Amino acid sequence: MHPNDPALRSFIDVDPTSDFPIQNLPYGVFSIADTSPRVGVAIGDFVLDLAAIEAEGLLDLGSNKGIFAQPSINAFMALGPKVWSSTRARISALLRHDNPALRDNDALRARAVLPRKELALHLPLAVAGFADFYSSKEHATNVGIMFRGKDNALQPNWLHMPIGYNGRASTVVVSGTKVPRPRGQLKPPTAEVPSFGPCKRLDFELELGVVIGQASPMGGMLTEAQAEESIFGFTLLNDWSARDIQQWEYVPLGPFLGKSFATSISPWIVTREALEPFRVHGPAQEPAPLPYLQQRGANNYDLHLEVNLLGAGTSRPVRISTTNSKLMYWSSVQQLVHQASNGCAIDVGDLLGSGTISGPEKHQRGSLLEISWNGSEPVEMPDGSKRSFLEDGDALTMRGWCQGDGYRVGFGEVEGTITPAV
């Protein structure tokens, strides 16, 4: 049976609402007690220790011994799509309800099938480089209306290429990492000169992270098919944003300190193959892109996304956004094709941010800048307080999943709590 078959069942009980059925098997990095971080896959409420399985001889990666006894998935990704697919198929077979190899080996199960709640989860990849895009037409239009007016909402280049900027790999952190409020130069419209201090308009951005698993050389280009094959998988991504720092600094070179202080990702990378049943075509692109950006495939995903905000000192979160990544105008494949089109070398472990994922309805907006309409329509909190932007002690959690027939392929969550500037 194919690893995506809806009829597959594991000997490990998995709730139908779990993000991690046997049809998913996302990769992550974990540790327990005093052990070194290593690679595993999530299955229900457990994690399968791939280093232990490989050491037992149940996974054969040829001469690539110890590939999972490492603190990132980069070495595994470098082996390429054929190995990704065959390894996922083998892991799926080992976890099937009718396969005794692992199911009936009590000693191995005790070592290799570990309760997820007892584990520490780490950044799953060594991030080689980070680029963030601006690929939701609704998000770009909303921001443009706020700052330039309805008649000039989209810049002239926006409909012709995926707009992006190069960010900082050094501040990509795993879910659960505290996010200190950034400091920077601030100059509100009423001030004559800038000042330096903590950000006052701290925001989130609901994004999908694209994890690159294959390198391409400097000077080359990528076709649609090559770009697709280079993508190992996807993760949830929150590109935290200091809107007041960004507003003062971005002319003429774009985002810099307003974006580089923290980017949070979920601890699990869902493989491109696991998402194959949920591929859909994105919105029609008018005018047609230049030939190098034209795509034939259905390169978007029917991925439900939601954001919950737990205010400081409160006990009940508020859902502030519900949207879907299928709405994105520029696909992840087009983003990668465009990034490589000038001859930029692509590395194993590169991370692309989709850009804020917003939709046409108010509840589908993927940032507080849009949700509060730049502070003019604050979010009502359970305790009667309001939020236009994030306050110290606020915790933001993003979740996402694709709904299958009796199962869901989910991403877990990416959470971050704001702490005061230091």
- Tens of pLDDT, residue by residue over 100-136, are 999 999 999 999 999 999 999 999 999 999 999 999 9
Q: What confidence category does residue 34 fall into, taking pLDDT thresholds of 50, 70 and 90?
A: confident
Rounded (10°) CA dihedral 173, 59, 79, 135 = -40
User: Rounded CA gap, 301 and 145, in Å?
Assistant: 27
Domains of the chain: 27-122 (2.30.30.230), 130-419 (3.90.850.10)
3-state secondary structure of 352: strand
Q: Give the predicted TM-score (pTM) of the model.
A: 0.97
DSSP string covering 214-241: S-B-TT----HHHHHHHEEEEEEEEE-E
**pLDDT value for 33:** 87
List pLDDT tens digits, range 40-91: 999 999 999 999 999 999 998 988 989 999 999 999 999 999 999 999 999 9
Q: Which residues pair with 41 in a beta bridge?
A: 27, 48
List pLDDT tens digits, range 207-240: 999 999 999 999 999 999 999 999 999 999 999 9
User: Rounded CA gap, 363 and 119, in Å?
Assistant: 35
**408-321-23 Cα angle (round to 5):** 10
61-68 long-range Cβ contacts below 8 angstroms, 24+ apart:
61/87, 67/39, 68/38, 68/39, 68/40
Phi-psi category of residue 338: left, alpha or beta, with phi > 0 → left and psi -120 to 50 → alpha: alpha
List pLDDT tens digits, range 316-359: 999 999 999 999 999 999 999 999 999 999 999 999 999 999 99
Scanning 213-307, the segments in alpha helix (DSSP H) are 224-230, 243-249
Q: Is 139 a catalytic residue?
A: yes
CB 402 within 8 A of CB 236: no
> Which of 367, 349, 347 is closest to 358 using CA atoms?
367
List pLDDT tens digits, range 255-299: 999 999 999 999 999 999 999 999 999 999 999 999 999 999 999
> Which of 14, 69, 92 is closest to 273 using CA atoms?
92
Which one of 97, 122, 139, 338 is the catalytic residue?
A: 139
**pLDDT value for 188:** 92
What CA–CA distances, in Å, run from 35 to 32, 121, 124, 332?
6, 12, 16, 36
